[in-house]
């Protein structure tokens, strides 16, 4: 092989390298456009959904904190009201029992007074009957 042929082969191979590089460069540009077309809309859509989701999450978190505070306050209020209700129910039963006891004591005292009066009147009656019987027999 002559020097000229070798130089010619080298030149052809270098030209081939240049052609391969140009072809690869075109494919790279085409690939970028193709991938961008596939992903850019999806990325943009997902990004805007993410932003909306983050805003909603922040709002929900704030509301959750508010409701947690409200729930804690209501738990305290409800517990207090339950205790108050229990005390009122017990107080009612206690007051009723005391009132009934007082009425019973008053009833017993009045009856006792009446029974004492009845006993005294029966003695008087017996005395009068005895005197009447005495007068009849005499």
For residue 69, the SS3 value is: helix
pLDDT at 1 over 90: no
Q: Which two tokens stand for residue 120?
A: 């005294």
Report the C-alpha dihedral over residues 110, 116, 117, 120, rounded to 10 degrees.
180
- The pTM of this model reads 0.51
Q: Which residue has the tokens 């738990």?
A: 75
Distance, in Å, from the CA atom of 78 to the CA atom of 76, rounded to the nearest integer, reads: 6
Measured at the alpha carbon of residue 78, what is the angle toward residues 77 and 80, in degrees to the nearest 5?
65
pLDDT 10s digits, 31-58: 988 888 889 999 999 999 999 999 999 9
Q: Which two tokens stand for residue 12?
A: 């052809």
pLDDT of residue 33: 87
């Amino acid at each position: 092989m002559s020097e000229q042929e070798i130089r010619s082969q080298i030149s052809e191979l270098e030209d081939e390298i240049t052609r391969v590089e140009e072809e690869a460069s075109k494919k790279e540009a085409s690939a970028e456009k193709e991938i961008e077309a596939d992903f850019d809309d999806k990325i943009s859509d997902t990004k805007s959904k993410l932003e909306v989701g983050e805003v909603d999450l922040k709002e929900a978190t704030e509301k959750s904190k508010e409701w947690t505070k409200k729930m804690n306050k209501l738990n305290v209020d409800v517990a207090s009201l339950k205790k108050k209700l229990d005390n009122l129910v017990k107080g009612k039963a206690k007051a009723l029992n005391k009132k009934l006891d007082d009425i019973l004591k008053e009833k017993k005292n009045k009856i006792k007074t009446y029974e004492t009066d009845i006993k005294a009147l029966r003695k008087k009656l017996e005395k009068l009957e005895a005197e009447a019987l005495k007068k009849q027999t005499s």
